[in-house]
Amino acid sequence: MANERHTDYREWETDASTRQSVHGFTKYHPFREATSTTASTILTAGQGEIATNWVTNPRVEAALSTPDGFTATGSAISRDTGQQSVGTASLLSNPANSAAGEGFYWESPVVPFSVNPQHISVQLEHRGASAASAVKLEIRDAGGTSVLATSGSSNLATSWTRVTASYSIAGSTAAVAYRLYLTTQTQHNINFYADKIMFEAREDTTSVSTYVDGSFGINHEWTGTANASTSIKRPAITVIKGIKLTNESTTSGDILYLAFDQTATSSTGIPILPKIATSSEGVFETNYPLHFTEKVSIIAAQNTPTVSGVIWGI
């Protein structure tokens, strides 16, 4: 902005609404890390990525059953605990070696009607029993006959490989289901594994989200039973409302400086003395709601003292 005037100061200040002022803390960010004499950011405020995953057993932690939606096509499929990208298991496909296109598919719930375009994306990670041959990830119609989008050929390897595909549904398309297919690119009998399986439908972007399931940590949730329901990734902290921080050092001179919405220095930060004489030393805790919307920054006066605590927010 140009031509700022001192009379604009009201626009520079944050005036929280009544709703924001009385809003209970709904999010938290625990931390424990070493600091240094270079300022670091403990938390950057922002909602981050928001996403959903319609696959109800995406990391194949639960036993295979009809509600999973995993169906063999030209292969035998099973839950396998010998390989996994996350968790303790993955979905193993044993192709019949009769033709190309052998593997499995997963069918989505019906994507509701919308007058606006909708964008569906699929993703998973695959791994081969050996580094030979290839597979492909596809989005197909509910009958499995029309290929709507594909990842293209992806070589099998003895490490995990992420593949994605996306398809845009035209506005006012009738409500229908879609299928995610992972199948052999050509005829072969190389076993392959799939994990971190995700299907998402959204209207705001064609981009493929980062993988989501309810066991991925803070702000990730199952909508029902773990590994048997859909998943969501909630927004992260957008407003910093409180903090409790402990300087774990017992070395004299290991002062920490804490700052909000700016980079911490010895002149801009709140000093937090090391924990030496009493249990109350070394601890900084707010006892009334804050309202910061950018970041929490910290710097050490010397050495690399460890800092730990929790940030509260909405």
Give the model confidence (pLDDT) of 62-72 as tens digits. Answer: 999 867 889 99
Q: Which two tokens stand for residue 34?
A: 């070493």
CA distance 292 to 75: 55
Distance CA 117, CA 214 (A): 27
The confidence score (pLDDT) of residue 10 equals 72
Reported pTM: 0.88
Q: Residue 179: what are its φ and ψ, rounded to 5°?
A: -125, 140
Are 130 and 188 within one domain?
yes
- Domain tally, the chain: 2
Q: What does residue 75 show for φ and ψ, rounded to 5 degrees?
A: -155, 170
pLDDT of amino acid 22: 73
Give phi and psi for 127, each to the nearest 5.
-150, 140
**Tens digit of each residue's pLDDT (9 = 90 or more) over 253-300:** 999 999 999 999 999 999 999 987 665 679 999 998 999 999 999 999
Mean pLDDT calculated for residue range 104-130: 97
What's the rounded Cα separation, in Å, for the pair 66 and 128? 25
Question: Which one of 180, 212, 233 terminates a domain?
Answer: 233
> Which residue segment(s) compose the domain that 287 sits in?
23-47+237-313
> Domain boundary at 233, 258, 286, which?
233
Q: Is 119 exposed, middle or buried (0-12, 13-18, 19+ CB in 10 A)?
A: middle
282 in a domain, yes or no? yes
**Going by DSSP bridges, is the β-strand pair 134-141/147-155 parallel, antiparallel, or unpaired?**
antiparallel
Residue-averaged pLDDT of the chain: 94
Residue 73 and residue 180 share a domain: yes
Residues in the chain: 314
pLDDT tens string 207-237: 999 999 999 999 999 999 999 999 999 999 9
**Residue-wise over 135-158: b if at least 16 C-beta within 10 A, else e?**
bbbbbbeeeeeeebbbbeebebee
Question: Are residues 29 and 156 located together in one domain of the fold?
Answer: no
Contact 182, 77 (CB under 8 A): no
From the centroid of its chain, how far is CA 62?
Answer: 21
Q: Are residues 150 and 114 in the same domain?
A: yes
